[in-house]
Amino acid sequence: MTILSVNGISKKYKKVVALDNVSFEVSSGEILALLGANGAGKSTAMKIICGLAFADSGTVTINGFDNVTDRINALQNVGAVIENPCFYNKLSAFDNLKAVGIYYGITDDTAIDKLLETVGLLDCKKKRVETFSLGMKQRLGIAHALLNSPKLLILDEPTNGLDPQGIYELRQFLKRLAHEQNVAVLLSSHQLFEVQNTADRVVIMNKGRVLETKSVEELMHATDDKKTVLIKVENVDETRQILKNCGYEYKQVAADVYEVTVKSGIADFNREIIMKGAIVVSSKEKEIRLEDVFISLTNDNHLSNKSEKENLADGDSREDAVNDRDKSEENKVTEEENEKR
């Protein structure tokens, strides 16, 4: 069942395009990650979903309710931590949750204790929040977001400030929440390894646009028609020339190691270069990581945008030339009319 549906949202701040026709969906029991560099539009998209900002165009529906025209019904299904969570710093962790719980009609202290236990803060429940580390505040923020038992949990950079153990525990917690309790989870992250090991699907964003939306498995096998091989050789210079003559894409990654992109089978590649004189010590396929896919997609998009801008610049130059010519002709006509007068 689709819990969140984002349809063609766009947002501009003055002349800066923050989002450009962004669309994606999140279903019950699914973890969807927004992946992108700073300025990609991840936080802006989350703010629009949560009603903290408004899109210039497009729609957002949560559990079937429009988050603008039916705001209350839509947002009552949402729990969120956007950017830095805020608390009453002089109050304890328990009292912070209790104060917010009143708005949701939660009066059972055991329910709050259970939430604190879930995020690993039960032993610290009486401590003032002002004494908490960044990671502890992050976990308290997640407990806060879960108070209303949401159908959609939105987390902006949830691993910020967490140590490796905390990151591992959060990963396991989110998986249980989604896959066992059927909660839809939308998160953003810079941590490519964590996204690869946590998310079911990934939306790769760059400069306000969605470049790709696929499952992690699909992204990892997106380059199955091409393989990357690491070869260690004895005759480095001769092998470089062989690779060049055969038309392979390659780069030298160590003194005696080349990284080569091949379209044929690895065995065929090895046979070919050995027959031509390469002395191969070892050859192995490079494991594809989400990081490689992300960099490949964003680099391709950068080159595409660069070409687009050059074409637009050429178009602007042509348009300017036409406008200058038209203005020159208009001025000439005006001068002739003045002479007649």
Q: Which fold has domain 2-220?
A: Rossmann fold (3.40.50)
Task: Give the type of residue at 181.
Answer: Q
pLDDT at 326: 42
Q: Could you give the residue range(s) of every CATH 3.30.70.1150 domain in the chain?
A: 227-285
Average pLDDT, the chain: 84
At 47-57, the pLDDT tens digits run 999 999 999 99
Q: Could you give the residue range(s) of every CATH 3.40.50.300 domain in the chain?
A: 2-220
Q: Where residue 22 falls among pLDDT bands split at 50, 70, 90?
A: very high
Cα angle, residue 13 at apex, residues 7 and 19 outer, rounded to 5°? 30
At 82-98, the pLDDT tens digits run 877 889 999 999 999 99
Q: Where residue 225 falls among pLDDT bands split at 50, 70, 90?
A: low
Would you say residue 156 has pLDDT above 50? yes
Give a three-class secondary structure readout of 118-176.
HCCCHHHCCCEHHHCCHHHHHHHHHHHHCCCCCCEEEEECCCCCCCHHHHHHHHHHHHH
Mean pLDDT of 55-68: 96
Residues 6+ apart with CB under 8 A from 57: 8, 9, 10
Q: Say whether domain 227-285 belongs to CATH 2.60.40.10.
A: no
Is 291 within 8 Å of 194 (Cβ atoms)? no
Q: Where residue 320 falls among pLDDT bands split at 50, 70, 90?
A: very low
DSSP 245-290: HHT-EEEEEETTEEEEEESS-HHHHHHHHHHTT--EEEEEEPPP-H
